[in-house]
């Protein structure tokens, strides 16, 4: 008996647990597929756009050339931020954000741009971590509830035997297995994507550092 069949034969709580696990599974796989595609594209876009930028004779043309290969908008925000400071020189100090010399302002705007890019890259990571950490407990809830009802029904039937207990209890344990099957892909994807995101962020930080070096 699978988890779906067990839920259909169970009460409202068992069915609710099965529905929650199903929603978690569908959601995690949608996020996994979207992130796998977006991160793969991001790595290609970064490599091509940075190469195009460094082949340009000046910053403005570099921005134009990088934009062609950066539909993900991971590199061009850094160039745009640096360009804004480079064209205006040292901003007038109307606010604290505009205080400091050109080098300090470059550091500030590039750091802010990197934070925005990092937020975009980490989209879905919290959801995967949440599903990976909670799905086993949701499945365990279904198992505990199923075992409770199985034992209650057996006790009401009179004399108990091992065969009478092992069948219903084994069926209830299917919910724990279902919870693990939902959690394991989410945890693996979270770790793999986290490693890829870390590599991408390191590449962008290196590019931002080089960009700051030529602009200050």
Name the strand (E) or helix (H) holding 207: helix 162-215
Count of CB atoms situated within 10 Å of the CB of 74: 25
SS3 168: helix
Cβ neighbours of residue 138 closer than 8 Å, sequence gap 6 or more: 17, 20, 21, 24, 179
**Which is higher by pLDDT, 96 or 104?**
104
- Residue 105 token pair: 């302002």
49-76 residue pLDDT tens: 999 999 999 888 999 999 999 998 999 9
Most confident listed range (59-73, 79-93, 101-115, 165-179): 59-73
30-46 residue pLDDT tens: 999 999 999 999 999 99
Domain count across the chain: 1
Cβ neighbours of residue 115 closer than 8 Å, sequence gap 6 or more: none
Measured over the CA atoms of residue 87, residue 93, residue 94 and residue 99, the dihedral's sign is positive
Single pTM value for the model: 0.82
Most confident listed range (83-92, 163-172, 206-215): 206-215
Report the C-alpha gap between 216 and 207 in whole angstroms.
14
- Residue 26 token pair: 């569908």
Domain that holds residue 175: 3-215
Give the pLDDT score at 135. Answer: 95
């Amino acid at each position: 008996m699978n988890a779906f069949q067990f839920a259909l034969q169970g009460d409202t709580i068992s069915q609710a647990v099965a529905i929650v696990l199903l929603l978690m599974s569908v959601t995690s796989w949608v996020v996994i597929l979207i992130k796998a595609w977006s991160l793969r594209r991001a790595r290609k876009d970064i490599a091509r756009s940075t190469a195009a930028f460094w082949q340009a004779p000046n910053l403005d043309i570099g921005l134009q050339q990088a934009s062609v290969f950066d539909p993900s908008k991971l590199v061009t925000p850094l160039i745009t931020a640096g360009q804004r400071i480079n064209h205006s020189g040292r901003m007038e100090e109307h606010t604290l954000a505009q205080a400091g010399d050109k080098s300090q302002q470059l550091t500030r705007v590039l750091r802010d741009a990197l934070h925005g890019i990092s937020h975009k890259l980490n989209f879905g990571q919290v959801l995967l971590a949440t599903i990976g950490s909670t799905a086993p407990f949701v499945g365990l809830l279904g198992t505990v509830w199923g075992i409770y009802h199985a034992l209650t029904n057996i006790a009401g039937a009179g004399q108990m035997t091992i065969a009478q207990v092992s069948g219903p209890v084994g069926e209830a344990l299917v919910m724990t297995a279902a919870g693990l099957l939902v959690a394991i892909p989410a945890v693996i994807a979270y770790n793999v994507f986290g490693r890829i995101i870390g590599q991408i962020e390191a590449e962008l930080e290196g590019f931002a550092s080089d960009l700051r070096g030529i602009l200050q």
